[in-house]
Structure 1
């Protein structure tokens, strides 16, 4: 149970709240009555004003009657179509009068010759031959015979000279390049050329010690000489034994 003091305080609070609520309700009721009285008074005033012909507040507050609608301005007159100017008439060229043709009088025809009379014609004088004519007509002197010119011999075409066949120099099998060896490509060829080996004869003439020294200088290709049997291939090619080479290592 609550102590007596707390209950008394609570009761006081409840009473105060009830009083405040009653006061609020009373205020609302009074306000409603006053509003109703004000509306009643306004209606009465308006009624009296209408009876007296005085405009009311609402009528005075109304906007004046709308002005008469303004007629839209008349549309501008359409432009008068202007007739296009007539095209200029080209001037007619003045007629060209041909020049007057002069009339020439016809030439008079010559008179016909008069017929010759039957007169005797005189005989012509004897013709005297000139010395040149006499010389041309004189016969050639006796004893001179014409000289006949010898006929020109016909040109004889010379016989074509046939070139003698040139015999190809005999190639030494030992001069065969090292590229003929099986398993030897361009990189190895360049490496061997740098070491002074370009033919199979040079490779075939190496001793075992020289071959081992050469193989050690091939760098990343060391061991290819023994594995691909370069010395055996080189000796067969240097000796010209192609059949033995192809039987052992395949066709070239």
Structure 2
């Protein structure tokens, strides 16, 4: 009894430890074996699948899924417009009228303006400007006309015998009214008649009527 209750010996402890360590190793070994079996089985299944696909390919029964992205379809082309008929063609704008060039002027001579009729000499404001002294007639050749009367006549624009000779009775009366202190001398000394002979250069006719010059 006492021997049985005695403490275990070192050999017994060592044997018990070896038994405890053996169990995990056994379990690990079983796991490795199971893993190897799984790998072997998977490799066998893969080999069978390859063989079966190769057979199917040989018979042409395998269709692989197309993993490429589908090419987008091109947009439909716009329909071309129908050809226009003759009735649908736009009318062309009317042609512009040709510019007409002006007709050339005829080479006809242009008639010259008719010369103006020489108006009779007028007195006062209507009388022409006095001519230079070298172009004026010598009124002192007439009877009854002196230097002062000559100056008065030239101041009124009367410088030629022809002016006095062409005066009408009305113009002569208007001139006589402007002679101032010499008024009445034109009719009394017959200036217009004297001037007509002297303007025409008819010395003989003058002297027959009024005496020697």
| Fold agreement, TM-score > 0.5 | no
Structure with the larger helix share? 2
Q: So what's the TM-score if we normalise by structure 1? A: 0.30
TM-score, structure 2 as length reference: 0.36
Q: Which has the higher contact order (CA 8 A, sep 6+)?
A: 2
